[in-house]
Amino acid sequence: MTTVRDIAEKMKVFAPPALAGEWDNVGLLVGSHDKVVRRILVALDMDSQTAAEAAAKNADLVITHHPILLKPVNRITDETAEGRVIKTLIKNDISMLAAHTNLDSADGGVNDVLAQKIGLINIRKIFTPDGVASSRTGEITPQTLEAFTKYVGEKLNSTVIKRVGDKNRIITRVAVCSGSGAFMINTANDEGCDALVTGEAKYSDEQLAHETGLCLIEAGHFETETIVCEVVRDFLRKEFKDIEIMVSQRKTTYYE
């Protein structure tokens, strides 16, 4: 019988923990490595919606991109959002694994999927100063920022997309960094990119992009990362043919 440990070991092959940021919290976060697994739910977030969906579908294991416990906590009670979610998981005997920044950086992970999804070619890794390949760069057919922004929005089904830069600027070389990737602005400039596609950025990040002449496309944190869920599902289906593996039906961000 397949256990959480078996799943966790295969996920380490796909998204090696060594690729995770030192501050990150990946791997088994809730439950037991010895639990037998018959059904898996793959989701971007572990929140009340995901926990309820997992319970309703009788999932034994949930694999998420975002960890529920990122910062140290002193207590877990039903007085906090995280506590209530964890209570639901424990009550229903559901274990949880997270693959976060290690999945961002992994070959075939979030940023590779994002780069391919928005049509980049000649894709290669961009390394941060600490040697982590947390982003990708590539090329597109030359087009205006306005046209490319529209294309990105369509490919990612994003209704929250916005841009920084002259709409008539011709874009050829693009960097991508899913989620909160504005920390790559200076690196994208160093790489000679015309634009950076990410999920979200702060006002000061938008200001930096404007001042340094880099076009910035913010397509939504959820939208730039949820695309990896089907990839994780397909990977696990090839490895575990006797297990039912589902992708969360939640298809929208928190915005309305």
Range of the domain at 87: 4-102
In a domain, 239, yes or no: no
Reference 180, options 211, 149, 221, 210; nearest CA is: 221
In a domain, 247, yes or no: no
* Alpha-carbon span 227 to 161, nearest angstrom: 16
* End residue of a domain, out of 43, 71, 102: 102
In a domain, 81, yes or no: yes
121 in the same domain as 57: no
113 in the same domain as 216: yes
Reference 117, options 69, 87, 153; nearest CA is: 153
Domain with residue 217: its CATH number is 3.40.1390.30
- pLDDT score of 22: 86
214 in the same domain as 117: yes
89 in the same domain as 150: no
In a domain, 43, yes or no: yes
142 in the same domain as 80: no
In a domain, 96, yes or no: yes
Strand 95-98 with 121-126, pairing: unpaired
In a domain, 33, yes or no: yes
Domains held by the chain: number: 2
In a domain, 229, yes or no: no
Q: What is the mean pLDDT of each run of 10 residues along the chain (256 residues)?
A: 97 95 93 98 96 98 94 86 95 98 96 98 87 90 98 96 98 98 95 98 98 98 97 97 94 71
- pTM value is 0.94
* Alpha-carbon span 232 to 65, nearest angstrom: 10
CB 119 within 8 A of CB 151: yes
120 in the same domain as 79: no
In a domain, 255, yes or no: no
166 in the same domain as 119: yes
- pLDDT score of 256: 65
202 in the same domain as 130: yes
111 in the same domain as 98: no
* End residue of a domain, out of 102, 134, 158: 102
DSSP assigned state of 240: -
* Alpha-carbon span 203 to 251, nearest angstrom: 27
Number of other CB atoms surrounding residue 56 within 10 Å: 10
135 in the same domain as 33: no
* Alpha-carbon span 68 to 87, nearest angstrom: 12
